[in-house]
Chains A and B, each alone.
Chain A
Amino acid sequence: MTTPAPTVLARDLTMTFGRTRALDGVSFELVPGVTGLLGPNGAGKTTLLRVLATVSAPDSGSVHALGLDPRHTDQRLDMRGRLGYMPQEPGFHARFTAFEFVDYVAILKELHQRRARHQEVRRVLELVGLGAVRGKQIKALSGGMRRRVALAQALLGDPDLLVLDEPIAGLDPEQRLRFRELVSQLGEGRTVLLSTHQTEDVVALAQQVLVLHLGRLRFVGTPLELAGLARGHVWQSQERDPGALAAWRTGTGQHRNIGNPPPGADLLEPTLEDGYLLLLGGDQVQEAAA
């Protein structure tokens, strides 16, 4: 099976704020489909997403997306016409209705024709399940609904590249399910990069996973491969194993441990979360093994 051509090429992205290196030589490629971006707080996820959304320019390195180079103004504007960005902390004009706000963003996305634009606004609001409340003022909407307004504006114009920063935060389980369905559909034929703390969403949606830690890319691969990192490093025990990197009590009363198992340990099939935790705590595992 041939791998589709990458739609996004990032090379050696570096970005520094004062003495803090938010991105440190990050390179990766994105292909059509859904890519999950994982990482702890402060890893640089939002910074990376802002660079891809052409909202920030890196100090060094390059990004090419959809055949366009955002360093050139015209190409950057073209790129913005073909991408949708949902920021981590979206802002709204509280007095606007949901429809009015998304319509306003549609104008800024150069959807000129009024009739077609309004049709598009209605479409995206229906897509995120806000069709019934599009006439309500944003200040009267719940937090989850506001996030869906933010998602709706990102879907305007049927973008080829979607950059979603923590899109699922604040959504209830039913909304999360709907979102997974939506993203899954969108991922067919489009490139979607979404950051999340919910590893289950990555498992459910993503064909590719990036793990960012302290500004550096620590893993690029499939969810299975990330989980596979922890193969042979996950075991269960009656009590918390003092030699484990991380341990917690599960619903069965047993303790799930991650790290270097003692001989004869009852090994378990690793999950993506196990691989993620092991990857980030890997320094300490390697020191213990040495």
Chain B
Amino acid sequence: MTTAIEHDDRSPAAGSPGGVPAGARSRRSMLALAAVESGRLLRHPAVLAATALSVWLLWRWGRGTAPVLHYADIATQVPLAPLAGAALLATNLAVLRPHRDGAVDLYGATRLSLARRTLAHLLSVLPLVALGGILVVADLAWLASMPGSVGTPHLAEAATGLALIALGGCLGVLLGRLVRSVALAPLVLVALAFGSLTLAELQIGGHDQRPWTWLGTLLRAPPFDPPPAALLGRPATWHLVYLLGIGVALAALALWRSLAQARARRRAQVAAAMVLVAALAATAAAAVVQTRPTSSALAERRLAVVRNPAAELVCQRRGPANYCVFAGFEPQIDLWEPTVRAVVAAVPPAAAARALPVTVAHRVGLHRLIDEDVNLGVQEGQGPSGPMVAPVGTAWGRDGPLFELAHARLAASVAARLVAPTRGDGEEPQWTPCNAQAVVALWLGGQASPQAAEGISQAVTDPFSEILVFSHDPVLDDPQWGVRAGRFALTLLDRPRDQVTQTLWRNWDLVTAPETTIERLGEVLGMQPPSGADC
């Protein structure tokens, strides 16, 4: 075999191979470069670490929850932020690679122009966006398959996290074209993260309060029970347009910069500038629209729900309880039933017969969605309209401190309605939060499920004041509980259940009478009640 050490003049640069027009050849080369760069991007250690972190954050949010899907879509945005940050860092490093490795002149002598190379870097982000899309779709599908999942995800909310990734990538490319230092991108990233977190923190309520915080990139799900989708009033679509507009503007700026650096034809620079201007206009328009206040119709509807919640709910009877839920939330009833039945089972049958059916009804704290100046039309001291219900929020799940509080709230509220039922003459039930009633109701609630017991323990350990709360947005239907009563109930829960049940059943009328004190209850049970001030 002979090794030919001759140089044949078959350079591929000679002539146009296969007669492909120059423009098409350029486009194909650019797409091929984009494919190579996207492969490198997906394998970058920062992207791999960010993907693992995003997966973990999505899993952590969703596990053990009974998801409300028009909230779960919002909750996909923050977990994708690491991917957006990794996109920024990795694309920036990719753009700066020829500068770091001394290949600028080498690339400059190739046919593919600087602008097309920039476009290739911009396009290389798309597979990373697709990866984010896969994560979001998989997450929402997983959540939708969970028992008790309700609602439908909003496309714009689910796509916001993906827009963040695209934005991060475009920014990384632009920074690389503007400044040749690898130190800039991490600093810009933390500044953006800082700013986004600050704006997200300032979003204390819904959209109406501080609407200008929507000009940030990260939007946390509001920290209260998810209301029905129709009451949310989030300008998700316009926010998505806003983010995409920023991304396109950044990309256009990077392209314009490349064209200017390479002294490209004026026509191309003008085209890039026009795209930039259009993107900025769209961004500005979206910024204005998304920061407009809520429509008066929606505000009225929210007020109506607060003033007369029963009108919005649909009810169905199941066993010992009437369940009244927002339309579309019926699957959550299956999750509450075991707790409700467990509470009812611990009440003497005769007493239960007098109190049943107990009404379990959705109550969500819409107060933060409503302007503070609005007159709710509910006077202080006035009870809720209609019979007392056992309130339950729309957030439910198996694990986690917030869900344990939700379990405790439901179980204890049902117990309170059974211990002090509404009397037949329509009068308010006599409820004393600091006497034996409260202890018995809390014990009934705590024995219904381990989560309820944990929730009670949590509330007692970290009380807001001398009154226990199980909800961050209590409503008028929420019974009040004394901390001392809570501590006594926890002590009771440590004792053998059968023993406590027998004693309580024997003395039911006494222990559930409004005037029975905690000390008297202690005498009945043969226990020393905890010390502490009465509320």
Question: Which residues of B, 1-26, contact A by the 8 Å Cβ criterion?
Answer: 1-6
Residues A248 and B2 in contact, CB atoms below 8 Å apart: no
A177 CB, nearest partner CB in chain B, Å: 26
A10 at the interface (CB under 8 A from B): no
Bound-state Cα–Cα, A240 to B4, Å: 8
B22 CB, nearest partner CB in chain A, Å: 32
A67 at the interface (CB under 8 A from B): no
A284 at the interface (CB under 8 A from B): yes
Residues B5 and A241 in contact, CB atoms below 8 Å apart: no
Bound-state Cα–Cα, A246 to B3, Å: 5
Question: 0/1 per residue, B128-166, Cβ < 8 Å to A?
Answer: 000000000000000000000000000000000000000
Residues B1 and A247 in contact, CB atoms below 8 Å apart: no
A242 at the interface (CB under 8 A from B): yes
Residues of B within 8 A of A245 (CB): 2-3
A243 at the interface (CB under 8 A from B): yes
Chain B, residue nearest A284 (CB): B1
Residues A246 and B6 in contact, CB atoms below 8 Å apart: no
A68 at the interface (CB under 8 A from B): no
B232 CB, nearest partner CB in chain A, Å: 55
Question: Which residues of B, 416-432, contact A by the 8 Å Cβ criterion?
Answer: none
Residues of A within 8 A of B5 (CB): 246-248
Bound-state Cα–Cα, A45 to B378, Å: 88
Residues A249 and B2 in contact, CB atoms below 8 Å apart: no
A244 at the interface (CB under 8 A from B): yes
Residues A242 and B2 in contact, CB atoms below 8 Å apart: yes
Residues A241 and B1 in contact, CB atoms below 8 Å apart: no
- Size of the A side of the interface (Cβ < 8 Å), in residues, is 12
Chain B, residue nearest A259 (CB): B2
Residues of A within 8 A of B4 (CB): 240, 247-248
A278 CB, nearest partner CB in chain B, Å: 12
Residues A244 and B6 in contact, CB atoms below 8 Å apart: no
Bound-state Cα–Cα, A243 to B3, Å: 10
Bound-state Cα–Cα, A281 to B1, Å: 11
Question: Which residues of A, 241-262, contact B by the 8 Å Cβ criterion?
Answer: 241-249
Residues A249 and B6 in contact, CB atoms below 8 Å apart: yes
A289 CB, nearest partner CB in chain B, Å: 14
Residues A241 and B2 in contact, CB atoms below 8 Å apart: yes
Chain B, residue nearest A245 (CB): B3
Bound-state Cα–Cα, A248 to B8, Å: 12
Residues A246 and B1 in contact, CB atoms below 8 Å apart: no
Bound-state Cα–Cα, A246 to B6, Å: 10
A146 CB, nearest partner CB in chain B, Å: 11
Residues of B within 8 A of A246 (CB): 2-3, 5
Residues of B within 8 A of A242 (CB): 2
Bound-state Cα–Cα, A33 to B439, Å: 98
B439 CB, nearest partner CB in chain A, Å: 69
Chain B, residue nearest A243 (CB): B2
Bound-state Cα–Cα, A281 to B3, Å: 10
Bound-state Cα–Cα, A247 to B4, Å: 6
Residues of A within 8 A of B3 (CB): 245-247, 281
Residues of A within 8 A of B6 (CB): 248-249
A160 CB, nearest partner CB in chain B, Å: 34
A259 CB, nearest partner CB in chain B, Å: 8
B470 CB, nearest partner CB in chain A, Å: 59
Bound-state Cα–Cα, A244 to B1, Å: 7
Residues of B within 8 A of A284 (CB): 1
Question: Which residues of A, 275-290, contact B by the 8 Å Cβ criterion?
Answer: 281, 284
Residues of B within 8 A of A281 (CB): 3
Question: Which residues of A, 79-102, contact B by the 8 Å Cβ criterion?
Answer: none
A261 CB, nearest partner CB in chain B, Å: 13
Bound-state Cα–Cα, A242 to B4, Å: 10
Residues B2 and A240 in contact, CB atoms below 8 Å apart: yes
Bound-state Cα–Cα, A243 to B2, Å: 6
A95 CB, nearest partner CB in chain B, Å: 14
Bound-state Cα–Cα, A87 to B273, Å: 47
Residues of A within 8 A of B2 (CB): 240-247
Bound-state Cα–Cα, A248 to B4, Å: 7
Bound-state Cα–Cα, A247 to B1, Å: 11
B147 CB, nearest partner CB in chain A, Å: 49
Question: Which residues of A, 210-254, contact B by the 8 Å Cβ criterion?
Answer: 240-249
Bound-state Cα–Cα, A110 to B42, Å: 47
Bound-state Cα–Cα, A177 to B58, Å: 67
Residues of B within 8 A of A248 (CB): 4-6
Question: 0/1 per residue, B383-427, Cβ < 8 Å to A?
Answer: 000000000000000000000000000000000000000000000
The 6 closest A-B pairs by CB, nearest first: A248-B5, A246-B3, A242-B2, A244-B2, A247-B2, A246-B5
Given contacts A240-B2, A241-B2, A249-B6, 17 further A-B contacts (CB under 8 A): A240-B4, A242-B2, A243-B2, A244-B2, A245-B2, A245-B3, A246-B2, A246-B3, A246-B5, A247-B2, A247-B3, A247-B4, A248-B4, A248-B5, A248-B6, A281-B3, A284-B1
B contact set with A: CB distance below 8 Å: 1-6
Give 11 pairs: A residue, B residue, CB < 8 Å, sorted on A. A241-B2, A242-B2, A245-B3, A246-B3, A246-B5, A247-B4, A248-B4, A248-B5, A248-B6, A281-B3, A284-B1
